[in-house]
């Protein structure tokens, strides 16, 4: 491998290594005592129209933007039709099924296709890692008509 090519592959590898190291450095953030995460709306079994207004309810903890390390706070994540179990030791993925509300939002309007969907809220710490123990809502089922 040429010196130039080697340097390029190291540069490419660096962010990946940093991402792998981050959870171990951050460590699990303790959840607030009696933290309770829930949907204010919609409710389980509700028939709704898209865009769906989702309001996040949280008791006994506060909301802070992502990146802000303040005791007993986190930011909301909405899981849409997620079937894989939550891995509490790594940052929550960021994709169409895992929505981050890193500005500290407590509600959102989300576009969903017609049909049945599952929704679940997961609170993440400043580094998007679930708390210890994880602060998650019940999974609710909604139907978009």
Interface with Cu ion (CB under 5 A): 100, 124, 128
In the complex, the smallest distance separating the C-beta of residue 51 from Cu ion, rounded to whole angstroms, is 21
In the complex, the smallest distance separating the C-beta of residue 49 from Cu ion, rounded to whole angstroms, is 27
Ordered DSSP codes for 38-88: EEEES-TT-EE-SSEEEEEEEESSEE--TT---TTEEEEEEEES--SPP-T
In the complex, the smallest distance separating the C-beta of residue 60 from Cu ion, rounded to whole angstroms, is 20
Kindly tell me which of 100 and 117 has the beta carbon lying closer to Cu ion: 100
CA distance 58 to 121: 10
Name residue 59's beta-bridge partners.
36
Kindly tell me which of 22 and 48 has the beta carbon lying closer to Cu ion: 22
Q: What share of the chain is helix, strand, coil (3-state, %, to 5)?
A: 15, 35, 45
In the complex, the smallest distance separating the C-beta of residue 10 from Cu ion, rounded to whole angstroms, is 29
Kindly tell me which of 64 and 144 has the beta carbon lying closer to Cu ion: 64
Kindly tell me which of 32 and 144 has the beta carbon lying closer to Cu ion: 32
């Amino acid at each position: 491998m040429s010196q130039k090519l080697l340097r390029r592959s190291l540069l490419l590898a660096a962010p990946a290594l940093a991402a792998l190291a981050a959870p171990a450095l951050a460590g699990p953030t303790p959840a607030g005592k009696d933290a309770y995460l829930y949907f204010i709306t919609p409710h389980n079994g509700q028939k709704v129209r898209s865009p769906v207004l989702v309001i996040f309810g949280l008791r006994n903890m506060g909301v802070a933007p992502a990146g802000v390390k303040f005791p007993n706070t986190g930011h909301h994540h909405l899981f849409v039709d997620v079937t894989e179990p939550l891995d509490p030791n790594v940052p929550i993925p960021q994709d169409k099924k895992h929505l981050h509300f890193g500005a500290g939002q407590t509600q959102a309007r989300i576009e969903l296709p017609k049909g049945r969907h599952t929704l679940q809220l997961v609170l993440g710490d400043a580094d998007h890692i679930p708390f210890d123990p994880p602060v998650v809502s019940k999974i609710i089922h909604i139907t978009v008509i």
